[in-house]
Chains A and B, each alone.
Chain A
Amino acid sequence: MTQILFKNKDMKDLHTIKVYEEQGGYQSLKKAFDQEPDEIVAAVKASGLRGRGGAGFPTGLKWSFLAKDVFPRYLCCNADESEPGTCKDRELLLKNPHLLLEGMIVCSYACRIETGYIYMRGEFHDLSFIMDKAIEEAHAKGYLGKNIMGTGFNLEIYTHLGAGAYICGEESALLNSLEGGRGEPRMKPPFPAVEGLYAKPTVINNVETLCVVPYIVNEGAEKYAALGTEKSKGTKLVSVSGHVKKPGNYEVVMGTSTREIIYDLAGGIRDDNELKAFIPGGSSVPMLPADQVDVGYDYESLAAAGTMLGSGALIVIDNKANIVETTLRLISFYMHESCGKCTPCREGTRWLHQIVERILQHKGQLEYINKIEDICGNMAFKTFCPLADACVAPVMSSIKHFRSEYEEYFKNTPVGSV
């Protein structure tokens, strides 16, 4: 299979600039600097690259939205990677830090940015050293700093660590956090492209998204766009975890069938059990039952199946697992991570938790299901940011596909118990 991001991933010392350059690293810079910045933006648009952080927004388009003639501008690389099930960015940062830097340099050149931050979740403290080292090496080589490669273009990139908050992966919360505040999301509009970091135009992209950019410059937008499907171009890193024999991060061409990913790449279901369900794009997207395993792994096929590609974390659940328990675990996560700023999210996640917990204690009643659905309805699309929607997705889909598992619990409810 075509490997763009993971091409040399297990090569020894790929994280050093020496090995990275030997493998053709940083060659996109010269090509980029030979073009006008806008040409690069146009190429990224033409490549069809969509953001890999979760929302899948077209990257070139995002860059073109930057407020005209307002400077300074900032680039924030979103390395918060905290969507449960997702661990692909970590592997990139760990093994191929220069690829990210190369992508960030090209992006900054294209968007006329002179300062970039890599916002890494606090738990990546060790990785920040690897990244800092890479930045230092790139500086020494003149890929960062003043007047890069004699072009007059200046760029500094810094790492910045979070401190334990899922919501800081949400782009506007990330900005607040980077500015030294609580990681509460911001009102939109204004969007970051207009008023982002320090109220200046800001590009925010996921690690994986930025890592794709050098390929597009080197090989051309067409070559990238030739990969994948109609609306999903290129390759995608998939973190396969859960009940598979060979969990791991895999790079697949968009459109590959999910069955292939689970059974071929990840070795199939562990312990000779059977597939019961899978969550294709991280904990925030609706789960699908086993019978949909042939769905194409791309934006539009997954959308048609009622779910999303999200951050590309494929969580595999076998037939021994308890869906209600798993759902509760996810609700518990969102309850814990809700910033508490808006009422439906703060109260709703906790209420759902109380109800599902009660069900698991065999103290629920059949009408709980309607109540859950109604509460979910009162939360969905009514909150300040999509975190509540993310909580609603697994809950609603688990009821949709595995209602009987909930109902099992009510059978044994002792009469009169509330």
Chain B
Amino acid sequence: MSGFTFSEKQEEEIAGILSKYPFKKSAMLPLLTLVQRAERVISPEAMVAIGQKLDCSPAYVQSVLSFYTMYHTEKVGKYMILFCINISCQLNGCDKLLEYAADKLDIKVGETTPDEKFTLHREECLADCTNAPMMRVNDTFYGNLTEQRIDQILDSLD
């Protein structure tokens, strides 16, 4: 398996990442994140490539990435919508809003729209409880959600 190569720019970034740590394995999460953000998925080929970079078995790479929820082995949409369903958001009615969002996107929670634009996931507490109910779309936090606000936010994304 050799189907994955890092771009030149990524190689540069990787060099920067590696320089932060005395042991290369520490760069595991940063490299996985790099790939996940670039590809929206982490393929077996990428796992091999990361393993080679960090001098560990691809099985180890897979073992690590499968522990964390932010890595995906199936491609996710351009916009990853993480809907917090934990206690503060629940107390503030997130369940209905999540249903609303799913209906609006016409997918089930956990799925990706056929055009690969949106993926909708339940998420545990995202540390924005004072703005509950909230969701995170890619890197942006949106709090105090209402149906209208969800409409607004999702409609504004292209």
- Which residues does A use to contact B, with CB under 8 Å? 72, 81-87, 89-90, 115, 121-126, 158, 160-166, 177-184, 198, 239-243, 247-249, 279, 283, 313, 315, 317, 321, 325-326, 329-330, 333, 336-337, 339
CB pair A122–B68 under 8 Å, yes or no, is: yes
CB pair B86–A333 under 8 Å, yes or no, is: yes
CB pair A326–B129 under 8 Å, yes or no, is: no
- B64 in the interface (beta carbon within 8 A): yes
CB pair B29–A177 under 8 Å, yes or no, is: yes
- B124 in the interface (beta carbon within 8 A): yes
Mark out the residues of chain B between 60 and 109 whose CB falls within 8 Å of any chain A CB in the assembled complex: 63-65, 67-71, 82, 85-88, 90-92
Complex: chain A residue closest to B25, CB-CB: A180
What residues of B have a CB within 8 angstroms of the CB of A115 in the complex? Answer: 22
| Cα–Cα, bound, A398→B73 (Å) | 38
| Cα–Cα, bound, A82→B130 (Å) | 14
CB pair B69–A164 under 8 Å, yes or no, is: yes
Complex: chain A residue closest to B129, CB-CB: A241
CB pair B125–A163 under 8 Å, yes or no, is: no
| Cα–Cα, bound, A409→B8 (Å) | 61
What residues of B have a CB within 8 angstroms of the CB of A165 in the complex? Answer: 67-69
Question: A158-B20, A179-B25 in contact; A315/B87 too (CB < 8 A)?
Answer: yes
Report whether over half of chain A's contact residues are helix, strand or loop; otherwise say mixed: mixed
What residues of B have a CB within 8 angstroms of the CB of A337 in the complex? Answer: 124
Distance in Å: Cβ of B52 to nearest Cβ of chain A:
14
CB pair A163–B124 under 8 Å, yes or no, is: no
Distance in Å: Cβ of B101 to nearest Cβ of chain A:
18
Question: A180-B28, A180-B29 in contact; A315/B124 too (CB < 8 A)?
Answer: no
Complex: chain B residue closest to A318, CB-CB: B91
CB pair B139–A90 under 8 Å, yes or no, is: no
15 A-B pairs whose Cβ atoms sit less than 8 Å apart in the complex: A82-B125, A84-B125, A84-B129, A86-B127, A87-B127, A123-B82, A124-B127, A125-B33, A160-B26, A164-B71, A179-B23, A241-B129, A243-B91, A315-B129, A329-B86
CB pair A123–B68 under 8 Å, yes or no, is: no
What residues of A have a CB within 8 angstroms of the CB of B126 in the complex? Answer: 123
What residues of A have a CB within 8 angstroms of the CB of B92 in the complex? Answer: 242-243
Distance in Å: Cβ of A195 to nearest Cβ of chain B:
15
Q: Which 3 A-B pairs have the closest CB atoms?
A: A180-B28, A164-B69, A163-B68
Candidate in B20, B54, B65, B90 with the most chain A CB atoms within 10 angstroms: B90
| Cα–Cα, bound, A207→B15 (Å) | 28
- B120 in the interface (beta carbon within 8 A): no
CB pair A182–B63 under 8 Å, yes or no, is: yes
Question: A180-B54, A182-B67 in contact; A163/B29 too (CB < 8 A)?
Answer: yes
| Cα–Cα, bound, A13→B85 (Å) | 32
What residues of A have a CB within 8 angstroms of the CB of B56 in the complex? Answer: 180
| Cα–Cα, bound, A321→B87 (Å) | 11
What residues of B have a CB within 8 angstroms of the CB of A125 in the complex? Answer: 33, 139
CB pair B54–A90 under 8 Å, yes or no, is: no
Complex: chain B residue closest to A168, CB-CB: B68
Mark out the residues of chain B between 110 and 158 whose CB falls within 8 Å of any chain A CB in the assembled complex: 124-132, 136, 139-140
CB pair A333–B125 under 8 Å, yes or no, is: yes
From A72, A163, A239, B129 is in contact (CB under 8 Å) with A239
- B27 in the interface (beta carbon within 8 A): yes
| Cα–Cα, bound, A166→B124 (Å) | 9
What residues of A have a CB within 8 angstroms of the CB of B64 in the complex? Answer: 180-182
Complex: chain B residue closest to A200, CB-CB: B22
CB pair A198–B129 under 8 Å, yes or no, is: no
CB pair B33–A326 under 8 Å, yes or no, is: no
Distance in Å: Cβ of B150 to nearest Cβ of chain A:
19
Give me 19 other A-B pairs in contact (C-beta within 8 A), A247-B132, A339-B67 excluded. Answer: A84-B88, A87-B130, A121-B127, A123-B70, A123-B82, A162-B68, A163-B32, A163-B65, A165-B69, A166-B124, A179-B23, A181-B64, A240-B130, A242-B87, A243-B92, A326-B90, A329-B85, A333-B124, A337-B124
What residues of B have a CB within 8 angstroms of the CB of A166 in the complex? Answer: 124
What residues of B have a CB within 8 angstroms of the CB of A158 in the complex? Answer: 20-21
| Cα–Cα, bound, A354→B22 (Å) | 45
Question: A83-B125, A333-B124 in contact; A239/B130 too (CB < 8 A)?
Answer: yes
| Cα–Cα, bound, A181→B88 (Å) | 30
Distance in Å: Cβ of B2 to nearest Cβ of chain A:
23
What residues of B have a CB within 8 angstroms of the CB of A242 in the complex? Answer: 87-88, 91-92, 132
What residues of B have a CB within 8 angstroms of the CB of A126 in the complex? Answer: 139-140
